[in-house]
Structure 1
């Protein structure tokens, strides 16, 4: 047991410390952005870089002929692939203009769904993500079920942050939001089993995006 003098000295130090508490850190500004703002004029460039960094394949197209050339280059690496399933009328017209073969129906879809080609709702520059929904004619299946997913988009669809993309959806659909909204960041992959990376674990194992010039008018 410490003697009274030692006890008194210890208690005095404790009282002294309590009289001068450590100052608390400043309260964080929860309204401030977590990341520095992105350059508004270069959002498409930032998106393309982050999209490719996450494993996506990026192609810029200035015309239907340019799109056809890029698609031919894509398929040249896998000559056994059948034409993609395309269920959105606007995209069907685009491919018809570019003289690119596609499958408009759903015949043997589950057995032969190597490729699905869809539009998207938005592109997120910060993460290189593609936001798709069930509101298009592609529905839930065409962006998830095929082994490979092709996306056609425009630079005007690029937004800076995920929150911007979700706000765009709210503004567009209001209370009638689609039953499925999905952010796709690169090909589907997992390394849950023995830290071995596996592509296509729960979605397409290959993701390619074809960015059409905003000035390209379909049917022209």
Structure 2
């Protein structure tokens, strides 16, 4: 697919089915792009579609089938949108939380491979089923360990509001979990003693993977 240069071409991109429940349009929305009028359109639609399909089929579909509807908070960013957002963050403008473009390749920037030539995709999501439990005192680590034990994720990064989190698919998964929620920092990564084994004690009452 060629990069969209018209409304009709962008409409066609937005209609691409990434999985049973998700289409590309859901992943193109950006508050930064919307507010500043910057097109959030991938330069390489084919790569964006490819990694988006992996993200949806292998991670988002199983989560939605198990926990019910998930909400997409932020996902694909064009290089232009991400670069602008990162500049605002460096200027300490409130509301801008983007890493550099290079750090976001094969992450929020779906249509660029990382420095090692690998492809990937990231979406920030909220699971309402868990957000309600989180508001009532559930530890964010319960969901983190549930995902770690069951799904082929690359990275998870948890945030304080509604237990939103980044979830990434990558050709060479890192299987690391980090958080801005207490306890902040790295929960697990390869080489840590807690990385392997059964973590079921963290999530009693959680549904089984559908």
RCO higher in 1 or 2 (8 Å CA, sep ≥ 6)? 1
Higher strand share: 1
TM-score range, shorter chain: under 0.3
Q: Rg: which structure is higher?
A: 1
TM-score, structure 2 length as denominator?
A: 0.24
